[in-house]
Amino acid sequence: MKNVTLILLLIFVLGCKEKSKKKETNNDLIENIENTGEVLTGVNMLNEITSFRNVAVTFSETKEFFSGEPIYLLSRDQSDSKSSYAQTEKVDVQYAETYRASVIVKKGETGNLFGLRIQGNYPDRVDAVFDLDKGAVVGVQKTQDFEEEKANIEALSDGWFICSVTAEVGADKVVVFFGPTMGKKSIDSWTHKTGHMCNAYFVPSSIKLQKVTN
């Protein structure tokens, strides 16, 4: 009996160490990604899940955590024949300055694409679509008064990625849109109906809007 207890205790300790190691590794990766190539200031944490506007999407909290933060499943709802997305509240920004929106996300059970947008006064915006199977940017597209658009995806561990889209914004207030998508459509129409259900895992506390300075 003592031997069994010792073995179980050893398994528990090793499991805790492995989780701690993964958390430290992910934190190091995130820190390295966010501090290379760009100087990011004025961090706005857009992570209040109760403040998100849900348009034909649902948030389901899982029992899992990423680096100690809760993971949610973001799903297009049963009405898969209309536009679907989540969006943050409006955020004050400086006109004609460069901003980056980012989120930590992982492929769900259905579909493999994820969209991210920074939008000012419609139709001024920048959109990016990411392939969470390949860890690749499918495309990035700016509309009207946004400029210098670009997108990036960086791998973390266990299939997780940091996805980001950046642009010089032609606005003094912006909203960040995000959500799963699928099918062949133009980059700026990723929110449109898919005809299929799709979902993705994401970490609400990871959603950020940051000013980029040289």
Distance CA 18, CA 158 (A): 13
Distance CA 14, CA 18 (A): 6
Which of 70, 66, 67 is closest to 50 using CA atoms? 70
Split at pLDDT 50, 70, 90, the class of 6 is: very low
**Residues shown for the chain:** 214
Split at pLDDT 50, 70, 90, the class of 213 is: confident
Q: Write the single-letter amino acid at 120.
A: G
For the residues 93-106, what does the mean pLDDT come to?
95
168-190 confidence digits (pLDDT tens): 999 999 999 999 999 888 999 99
Split at pLDDT 50, 70, 90, the class of 135 is: very high
At 42 the pLDDT is 56
CB within 8 A of 192, min separation 6: which ones?
A: 83, 185
At 195 the pLDDT is 83
Residue 26 above 70 pLDDT?
no
Split at pLDDT 50, 70, 90, the class of 49 is: confident
At 165 the pLDDT is 97
For the residues 44-65, what does the mean pLDDT come to?
85
CA atoms within 13 A on the CB side of 98: 15
Task: Name the E strands within the chain.
Answer: 39-45, 53-55, 57-66, 69-76, 85-87, 91-92, 98-107, 113-119, 125-131, 136-143, 147-155, 160-168, 173-181, 199-202, 208-213
Residue 22 above 50 pLDDT?
no
For the residues 111-120, what does the mean pLDDT come to?
96
Residue 30 above 80 pLDDT?
no
Residue 100 above 80 pLDDT?
yes
Residue 158 above 90 pLDDT?
yes
Hey, what are 32's tokens? 């390295």
At 23 the pLDDT is 47
Task: For the chain, give the mean pLDDT.
Answer: 84
DSSP string of 30-81?
HHHHHTSSSEEEEEEE---GGG-EEESEEEEEEEEEETTEEEEEEEE-S-TT
Instruction: Please indicate whether residue 214 or residue 159 has the higher confidence score (pLDDT).
Output: 159
Split at pLDDT 50, 70, 90, the class of 51 is: confident
Residue corresponding to tokens 């597209």: 141
206: which DSSP letter?
G
Q: Which CATH number fits domain 40-213: 1.10.10.10, 3.40.50.2300, 1.10.630.10, 2.60.120.260?
A: 2.60.120.260
pTM listed for this prediction: 0.82
Q: 21-30, 59-68, 81-90, 136-145: which has the minimum mean pLDDT?
A: 21-30
